[in-house]
Structure 1
Amino acid sequence: MFGKKKQYPVPNAYGLTPAEQVKLTSGVDFWGTEAFPQAGIPRFRMSDGPHGLRFQAGAGDHLGINDSTPSTAFPTGSALACTWDPALVAQMGTAIGREARSLHVDMVLGPGVNIKRNPLCGRNFEYFSEDPFLAGQLAAGWIKGAQSAGVGACLKHYAVNNQENDRLRSDSLVDPIALHALYLEAFRIAVTEAQPEGVMCSYNLINGTYASDDAYLLSTVLRKQWGFRGTVITDWGALNDKTAALNAGTDLEMPGNRHLFDKQALRDLASGRLQPAALTRAVAKIAQLAQKPRPAFTGDRDQLLRDNAQLAEKIEEQAAVLLKNDDHILPLTATDKIAVIGQMAAATRFQGAGSSHINAAETVSITQGLNAAGITYTYADGRDQKKAVAAAQAADKVVFVAGLPETAESEGFDRETMALPTDQNALISAIAAVNPHIVVLLVAGAPVTLPWFDQVQGLLNLYLGGEHVGTAAARLLYGAVTPSGKLAETYPLHYADVPSSALYDRNTLSVAYAESLYVGYRYYEKAQVPVRFPFGYGLSYTTFAVSDSHLSQATVKPGETIQVTVTVRNTGARTGAEVVQVYVGNDPDAALTPLKTLQGFAKVTLAPGAAQTVTIDLPAQAFSEWDDQAQQFVLPQGQRTVIVATSSAAAEVAATLPVTLQGTSRTRRAAPIPAWYRHPQGLPVVADFEKLSGRTVTPPHQPRPGEFTKYSTPKEMGQYSWVVRQITAIAKQQMIGTDHPTSAEDRFMETTIMNTPLIRLSQQSSGALPLAAVDRLVAAANRHYTGLITGRPR
């Protein structure tokens, strides 16, 4: 109980007093909820995902990224998406769910479906795609798989969370069409098709309101429009205002923070600011999670990890994307004299850094995979360029392993460039001068620029392929399996071609999504910008023909579903898989409308000479447009096309089928739309975005003494306050062990400390940084020395 008894306008739900109900809405520790045995509400245990289980025994140690129980490290989201196989993703979800139950975990925090707005986002390796339909379908598969094992899935990060720099206080400014048609659509699909037990709200603001406080997103959209039946959980430390959050639709604040805001919530309940119905809902949702019967794990966990390692390998074999294969340099043959070059061949990255970092049960590098397969090769790590070039010159073919270092891709900060390390680029060019028969294995969680592309014959993109990436790579290189991955994101030629490139991370607090829904192929195609590799692209060791495409009917009415049927034939000499991709083509002159959008797909595995007929459903939703006034997707009238293809590129279109929409005649927007949004040419500008959205972008501002608040960061305040600098140095020593971190994990920790608002640090400190200390630090930075003593900032 808290303080003296008061009368509160709320029933004693589950036999809990109002104070106990408020207490239930905040976690008890870093990973779990409060338990009230007398009310039949047990503790509920969560752990990080999404490409493996990051389980910390006991209460955990905040952001102890490496301190976790060994588990399977599956390929990360960017690799997983290239399988284009929701059923395979479901197998992975089930596997993670079983590992979770083997450690008595009730919910895994995943999957993540945020749209890849810009290739520099530090967390892109965790996310699926630039396309919401593909991301949503894969997320639905992951959720169904995990929940089939009796473990709850927590879909994240809701919503419009597309950068890591200043993610805890950035304001994503977005127009309503882009919001619903692009940034919310993957969440909508995942929720309506799979009903995750949880949805995690993000740190950032959306159009001026923190995600945890956003009643429109949490109640109107998520619960009323989509029918979400689960629990809304904050990201760790994302709660902004407990009362506003509960009223808006947030149910559970994580992590446990010694109930920092409970007394205020009780006062607000007594005063009427906290709505009794909101508290009752939150209590019911949390109890629903905690009371759900979950199966006990039966079997041997060590055997489970061995089985899951094989599944991780299978997924990577299906995910790797063959991007270039001139003169059929791949697959390699046993008689080829091979030189393997690159440090990453022996120390192969298989995951990114941050909260998703898995303590892998076992790992196989590329050289270890080749060794296990009995492949003979010479190896040079490339640090001595002369030795590497000599090894390449003496070989028939070169396998060069290139990629991003571990410090480049992490939660908590964004990449600074799309470039690979300069020494790698230079070495590839030097080798090409003496031996052009080069196959590059690319190890990176997101697109990179490829200045040497025309100098090599082969390029196989492994992404971040999980703990058995080396075994999979060896099998792919030598043709034991045929590559079948398709890109889930566009590879631009240059970073300057990216529609958000001029604005991304330039104003991290007031973020104009000026390109609207023109992201990825939606922009490149309509703006006629050439790309390195288009969305949906991927080669194979065999060939396919797609024919006999036809529709079940040539008209679509509201509520109807039509089918597109095609025949796929393997016309080559190897077993392989093709992905049939179905797009809806739009009016090229329509404003805020891409030339086409993905609305269906199917992956088909065929033996040589075999054929299969594939039918793909296209519901009316696939042709509908967001109507913000009606607050729903509406089927319009007019002509569209159904495009059957094997990538988004025009050269890979197999058929274009006309269809007539018999929907509603829509009234055009009264306010004029800036010309760029009808025919995007070049990059968007903020002034046009402000006209389109009605939002005002706040210019960047460096705060100075007198302007600091609890939302300011140690990095900002430390420039003016010796006290803040000293406390920050102590925190780094305690949490990292050094003031000068070098590893990706330590850099993530340092960024977390330096760039987290003081109030958020307090929320995650388990009492180590109380609110009174926050007030004193703010006072010190503002040079309000009386406040430093009294703890009352101005």
Structure 2
Amino acid sequence: MARMKYEELIRKMTLEEKASLMSGKDFWQSQNLERLGIFSMFLADGPHGIRRQAVGSDQMGLNAGIPATCYPTEATVANSWNEDLGERVGSYLGLEAVAQKVHVLLGPGLNMKRNPLCGRNFEYFSEDPYLAGKLAAAYVRGIQSHGVSACVKHFCAKNQEERAMSIDVVVDERALREIYLTAFEIAVKEGRTRSLMTSYNKLNGTYTNENKHILQEILRGEWGYEGAVISDWGGSNDRVAGLEAGNDLEMPSNDGETDREIVLAVQNGVLDESILDRRVDNLLDLIFFTGKLEDKSRFNFDVEKHHRISQKMAEESIVLLKNEDAILPIRYDKKVAVIGEFAKTARYQGSGSSRVNPTILDNTLECFDESGIRIIDYAPGYKRYGRKSGKLKREACELAAGADIVLLYLGLDEATETQGLDRESMSLPANQIDLLEAVYEVNSSIVVCLSSGSAIEMPWIGKVKGLLHGYLGGQAGARAILRVLSGDVNPSGKLAETYPLKYEDVPSAGNFPGREVTAEYRESLFIGYRYYDTAGIAVLFPFGYGLSYTEFEYSDLRINDNGISFDLANVGKAAGMEIAQMYIHCCSDAIFRPYKELKGFKKVFINPGEVKNITIPFDDISFRYFNTLTNGWEIEEGDYEILVGASSADIRLKASMHRKGTDAPVPYRKEDLPSYFEGKAAHIGDEEFEQLLGRPLPPSNWDRKRDLGYNDTISQCRYARGVAGRLTYWIIVFLHWYLKRIGRRNEANLIMMSVYHMPFRGIARMTGGSVSMAMVDGMLLIVNGRFFRGLFKLWKEWRTNSSK
């Protein structure tokens, strides 16, 4: 074991001082020890912009932030496939963090897009771990170039928002390694992130914050990670167990309650003090790395310059999905009707902890003059949050009838895509679809400008000629879209996720979300294009797809042991950027695999008539698979097909090569796992999934006969023995229904996020010490049918807590 960096300083600390460093000083700051020169770090949300809240750091909740540049979200940035630009955006984020005295920036998010309904997909890069990891590493390098620490999250397998703080993710080891950990591995090894945030959920029965397998054996053991591990806010279950597993900092503050647990554990011999010293050492390394900020004078970043880089990223991330009859770009002589409430009030970011207060916010209607597009008028067409209006629809149709082209702005609203809730369907709101169909009856020259952070169904796509997807383009997204529509910018974005024809085609559809105790990842490796390509399922838009205003031609593929090279020519009339993608297909069927997997890519700018030679190297990820018998990464000897193309479904070049292997034993028998070997992993039965796991399935439903405990959620009060518990449940359900009914959807969502799905322990962990675990004990007595005893304990502990 390596020698501690700050051993001499740690020796000067008392046991109580060491323990005090292990949890927050308040909601956003780490603890300080003035006598030893240890200062508080400020931690702030920031995957796509700094959210240092304007109120004091002792105030919990999702309060408004100090103005900062709102860059495109990760789901948007992933469509750029541009590592260099990602690192540049990261650098600008780091500069803004320095300006706001933020030491640790909580991002980027690296969870896989296992299912398109995950409410937080807008904050994650991709369904592919290689693409996500490369972009995340770029972000991390940029952020940390200014002495700020990035904090990649949420480690790991956090792929749903419903019951996120208590759900148990059941996943086989190979899928865990190849799909859900690979992006984190790249961010750790290539980005060298200084901090990492654990997720709320359990992983195969153990909370990630207490999971020695991922925190010790993999993160620190295999990857050589030397940074700090931080809990998600309120994500600490058993503090001592978390400390032993490898958690260095619990956030937020709990007014010293868990500090006392740590001290007691050391004094009673339950926790070896050397483990505590190691955790303190890791945290001090983070503190002193970010301490350089204290030496920098406060400065104001260049707002306009940062706005321009946000626009550049938005432009490179916009995806042209359909361009029938070359309706785009729009010529200056066309009369254009602009319809859609999103044109007036853009949807440019997600909701929840990543919500940024932008420094500037471009407005579509105010940017048309500079675009050269001649609009005749604007009509809202629909109400933003789904209510129908015949009057608005009629007005929009009247406007559309007199136009050459209709620009129809559609998308998902802020209350649909948000932290804490998963989406109910993949559809656009019905009132928007009704509007599109009505407009089509009077004018078939429709270009849809789509805004959303995740995949949607498009049964209406046959009624539009053009489809431009801006995702969530940040504060400059509105202007960026107009620059693509006008032809000032040639679209170069390509999808970082697959768009299925319908939700039922999604391989995890039958197991999402895990609604009670477990979330079963029965599809294993087969998420996204890995499933659709292998099972032969038709999709609407494949992974890696995106159109351009020019054309590219691939030729002359050459392969050696170190990588590939080929020629890429722009054979069209406009300059543009192409994203060339390298996939690898293993020709052997001895081990089940997806048909092909992304193992390299390059984005390149090419002028008309120009030819460029492109090289894409192989790396240590290119040919590996995880072998559960050897518990390590292996290479299967055999023939491999190298596939180069413009998307996962548009392969332009192919060649074969032989690769030597590592002579590992075959870990599977085909007769035990027929569905996986056929790639038809959407409907896996219990027995076959248990064969893959190598153990029996844990119970998936709540045991309704037992008392509720710390890790049960408020939603489970419907089964409470006590009348007070059941009454509380129905009051919450009614309030949620009522707030939605009267149109206050954000407040309704907040109830679901911060109350309904909150485990009882979270009431203490998220209130900064205002509610103690002893008070939670009183609450549990009440809901479990011991009303007066619980009420007395709650009152007694409240008085004790208040007198501190």
- Shorter chain as denominator, the TM-score bin is over 0.9
Matched, 1:253 2:250: yes
The residue type equivalent to 1:504 in the other structure is F
Other-structure match for 2:399: 391
Q: Name which of 406, 423, 432 aligns with 1:424.
A: 432
1:101 aligns with 2:94: no
> 2:635–2:662: 8 Å Cα contact kept in structure 1?
yes
Choose 580-589 or 776-785, whichever is displaced more. 580-589
Instruction: Say which of 328, 339, 342 aligns to 1:341.
Output: 339
Residue 775 of structure 2 corresponds to which residue in structure 1? 773
Match of 2:787 in 1: 785
What is the root-mean-square deviation in Å for CA atoms of aligned residues? 2.5
Q: Matched residues in 2 for 1:497 and 1:733: separation?
A: 34
TM-score by length of 2: 0.92
Could you tell me whether the CA contact under 8 Å between 2:315 and 2:480 is conserved in 1? Answer: yes
Q: How does 1:531-570 map to 2 (within 5 A)?
A: 531-553=539-561, 562-570=562-570
Task: Provide the C-alpha distance between the structure 2 equivalents of 1:298 and 1:158, rounded to a whole number of angstroms.
Answer: 34
Q: Does 1:48 align with 2:45?
A: yes
Deviations 1:506-550 (A, max 9, x none): 534211100001000000001000000000000000111111211
**For residues 278 and 338 of structure 2, what CA distance do their matches in structure 1 show?**
59
User: How far apart in 2 are the matches of 1:243 and 1:580?
Assistant: 48
Cα distance, 1:398 vs structure 2:
0.7
- Aligned counterpart, 2:234: 237
1:351 maps to 349
How far residue 234 of structure 1 moved from its aligned partner, in angstroms, is 0.5
Comparing 150-159 with 627-636, which one deviates more in the overlay?
627-636
Match of 1:660 in 2: 658
User: 2:388 matched to which residue of 1?
Assistant: none
Answer yes or no: is the 8 Å Cα contact 1:107–1:154 preserved in 2: yes
Structure 2 counterpart of 1:685, which letter?
I
Among residues 25, 31, 34, which one is paired with 1:34 in the alignment?
Answer: 31
SS of structure 1 residue aligned to 2:601: strand
Contact 1:344–1:401 under 8 Å retained in 2: yes
- State the one-letter code of the partner of 1:277: S
What's the CA shift for 1:320? Answer: 0.4
Give the structure 2 partner of residue 490 of structure 1.
498
Give 1:457-536 correspondences, 5 Å limit.
457-536=465-544
Residue pair 1:723, 1:777 contacting (<8 A) in 2 also = no
> Do 2:166 and 2:712's aligned partners in 1 also have CA atoms closer than 8 Å?
no
Specify the alignment match of 1:559 in structure 2.
Answer: none
- Per-residue deviation, 1:464: 0.7
In 2: Cα distance, 1:566 partner to 1:412 partner: 45
The alignment partner of 1:519 has SS state of coil
Comparing 31-40 and 322-331, the one that deviates more: 31-40
Gaps of 5+ in 1: 1-9, 554-561
In the alignment, residue 571 of structure 1 is paired with which amino acid? V
1:767 CA displacement: 2.1
Per-residue CA deviations over 1:251-273 (Å, capped at 9, x if unaligned) read 11011111222222222112222
Q: Secondary structure at the match of 2:474?
A: coil
Quick check: 1:21–1:279 contact (8 Å CA) kept in 2?
Answer: yes
Q: What SS class does the counterpart of residue 787 from structure 1 fall into?
A: helix
Paired residue type of 2:204: N
Structure 1 residues 670, 632: CA separation in 2 closer, same or farther (over 3 Å shift)?
Answer: closer
Amino acid at match of 2:528: G
Q: Distance in 1 between matches of 2:50 and 2:143?
A: 12
Equivalent of 2:153 in 156, 161, 167: 156
5 Å-filtered alignment, 1:678-689, equals 678-681=677-680, 683-687=682-686, 688-689=688-689
Query: Which of 86, 98, 102 is residue 83 of structure 2 equivalent to?
Result: 86
Instruction: Tell me if the contact between 1:50 and 1:111 (Cα under 8 Å) persists in the aligned partners.
Output: yes
- The alignment status of 1:449 with 2:475, answered yes or no, reads no
Q: Deviations over 1:3-60 (max 9, x none)?
A: xxxxxxx998241111111111111111111111222211111100101000024643
Q: CA deviation at 1:619?
A: 2.1
Correspondence 1:172 to 2:169: yes
Moved over 6 A (4+): 725-735, 737-741
Aligned partners of 2:719, 2:67: CA distance in 1, in Å? 40
Per-residue deviation at 1:177? Answer: 0.8
TM-aligned CA distance change 1:678 to 1:281, over 3 Å: same
Cα distance in 1, alignment partners of residues 750 and 413 from structure 2: 14
Q: Relative to 1, partners in 2 of residues 1:176 and 1:718: Cα closer, same or farther, differing over 3 Å?
A: closer
SS, match of residue 122 in structure 2: helix
Alignment size in residue pairs: 772
Of 626-635 and 562-571, the range deviating more from structure 2 = 626-635
2:197 — aligned with what?
Answer: 200
Q: 2:582 corresponds to which residue?
A: 582
Evaluate the alpha carbon distance shift between residue 62 and residue 118 of structure 1 in structure 2; reply closer, same or farther with a 3 A threshold.
Answer: farther
Shift of 1:244: 0.8
- Decide whether the 8 Å contact of 1:172 with 1:511 is kept in 2: yes
| Residues 670, 611 of structure 1: alpha-carbon distance in 2 compared, 3 angstrom cutoff | closer
Shift of 1:491: 0.3
Over 3 Å counting, the alpha-carbon distance change for 1:775 and 1:12 in structure 2 is farther
The alpha carbon displacement at 1:749 in A equals: 5.2
Superposed displacement of residue 61, structure 1: 5.7
Q: Post-superposition shift, 1:591? A: 4.2
Deviation at 1:733?
Answer: 14
In the TM superposition, what is the alpha-carbon distance from 1:774 to its structure 2 partner?
A: 0.6
For residue 752 of structure 1, the aligned residue among 751, 754, 776 is 754
Once residues 689 and 204 of structure 2 are traced to their aligned partners in structure 1, the CA distance between those partners, rounded to angstroms, is 13
**One-letter amino acid of the structure 1 residue matched with residue 626 of structure 2:** W
Cα displacement string for residues 61-108 of structure 1 (whole angstroms, at most 9, x for unaligned residues)? 655324210111111111000000011111111111111110111110
Q: CA deviation at 1:433?
A: 2.1
State the secondary structure of the residue aligned to 2:622. Answer: helix
Q: Which amino acid aligns with 1:350?
A: Y
String of CA shifts for 1:197-256, please: whole Å, max 9, x gaps: 101000000000000100110011001100111000000111111111111111110111
Cα distance between partner residues in 1 of 2:56 and 2:678: 54
Following superposition, the deviation at residue 790 of structure 1 comes to 5.0
1:311 is matched with: 309
* Structure 2, gaps ≥5 residues long: 1-6, 383-391, 797-804
Partner of 2:380: 381
Q: 1:435 maps to what in 2?
A: 443
113-122 or 611-620: bigger deviation: 611-620
Q: How many angstroms apart in 1 are the aligned matches of 2:538 and 2:591? A: 21
Deviation at 1:115, TM superposition (A): 0.5
2:28·2:58 contact (CA, 8 Å) conserved in 1?
no
The residue type paired with residue 744 of structure 2 is: T
Distance 1:458 1:61, change over 3 A: farther
Q: Is the 8 A contact 1:404 1:421 kept in 2?
A: yes
Q: Does the residue aligned with 1:169 lie in a helix, a strand or coil?
A: coil
Please give the alpha-carbon distance, in whole angstroms, between the structure 1 residues aligned to 2:769 and 2:642: 58
The alpha-carbon deviation at position 405 of structure 1 amounts to 1.4
Once the 2 structures are TM-superposed, how far is the Cα of residue 716 of structure 1 from its aligned partner?
A: 2.6
CA contact (8 A) 1:305 1:361 kept: yes
Cα distance in 2, alignment partners of residues 699 and 115 from structure 1: 25
Say if 1:410 and 1:748, in contact at 8 Å, map to a contact too.
no
Distance, in Å, in 1 between the alignment partners of 2:726 and 2:146 is 47
Bigger Cα displacement from structure 2, 424-433 vs 139-148: 424-433
